[in-house]
Amino acid sequence: MNKTLTCGSVDRAYRLRQSLILLALICAALLACQSAALAHAVTQGDKGYIQEIYGVKFIPFMYLGAKHMMTGYDHLLFLAGVIFFLYRLKHIGIYVSLFAIGHSTTMIIGVYYNITMSSYLIDAIIGLSVVYKALDNMGAYQRWFGFQPNTKIATLIFGLFHGFGLATKVQEYDIASDGLLTNLVAFNIGVEIGQLLALAVILIAMSFWRRSASFWTHAYTANVVMMTAGFVLTGMHLTGYFITPAS
């Protein structure tokens, strides 16, 4: 019995060390790219190009939309959390569609009607959406409050916030009003293409991981890491909000 307890203690200690290493790595990676997180893929080259053109530019805006989603790791973290325990393509399609409806709506409305807000605060909320989904995957709400929030409604609502996050970035491009709506639609199509490509990579990786015995062993730890990443992103953006002078 003592030997069994000792082995169990060693196993728990090993898992704890793994968890701490993963947490340290994710925090270090996020802190290392802090400047990129606050800028969120709005490069000077892209911004300069957009400011120099006018009229309908469908393909360039599709490219920019796809690029933004592929480099938007906060959006991808949330999507990874959404599909973490989804196995059927039908269910994945429903949740991804709800997310897409949410962020498409607020992105287009936010830019077209020039609804301005602090990008730092919106990105902090997006970071909290990652925290929410990780806690949901860990079954925290059932343990703490005795009920399960409607995951479909939550995905749609957070999709709306993610869309406003996209809108704040698109507004930084200072797009010309000529052909604005068409260019926004092109940007949104690019976002959806980028989202599907990233989702395909995530699903392939998840499918291989789910086949291994380590999935259920490390699923909880993975969501702890995801939750920590969400808190780190939220803290980074709130810091940016408080230390950046108002323009």
Q: What is the pLDDT of residue 116?
A: 85
How far is 105 from 86, CA to CA, in rounded Å? 25
Q: Give the pLDDT mean for 95-113.
A: 93
Structural contact between residues 67 and 41, judged by C-beta atoms closer than 8 angstroms: yes
Structural domain boundaries in the chain: 61-243
Give residue 61's pLDDT. Answer: 87
Share of the chain above pLDDT 90, in %: 46
Condensed to tens digits (0 to 9), the pLDDT of residues 21-67 reads: 555 555 555 544 444 444 454 566 666 667 777 778 888 889 888 88
129-168 pLDDT, tens digit per residue, is 999 999 999 999 999 999 889 999 999 999 999 999 888 8
CA distance 152 to 190: 24
Residue 87, CB half-sphere, CA atoms under 13 Å: how many?
Answer: 4
What pLDDT sits at residue 97? 94
pLDDT of residue 70: 80
- Integer Cα distance of 119 and 233 in angstroms: 13
d(CA 192, CA 180): 18
pLDDT computed for residue 144 by the predictor:
93
**Residue bearing tokens 């808190």:** 231
Can you tell me the distance from the alpha carbon of 40 to that of 99, in angstroms, rounded to the nearest whole number?
Answer: 19
The residue among 240, 239, 201, 232 whose CA lies nearest residue 69 is: 201
How far apart (Å, rounded) are the C-alpha atoms in residues 43 and 123? 17
134 neighbors 227 (Cβ within 8 angstroms): yes
How far from 198 is each of 15, 56, 180, 212, 224, CA to CA, in Å? 29, 27, 27, 22, 22
pLDDT at 1 over 50: no
pLDDT of residue 4: 42
Regarding predicted confidence, which is higher, 216 or 46?
Answer: 216
Task: Check whether 121 has a pLDDT greater than 80.
Answer: yes
* Contact between residue 151 and residue 168 where contact means Cβ atoms under 8 Å apart: no
CA-closest candidate to residue 49, choices 174, 221, 193: 174
pLDDT at position 6 = 47
Q: Identify the pLDDT of residue 101.
A: 94
For helices 214-243 and 119-137, give the axis angle rounded to 10 degrees: 160
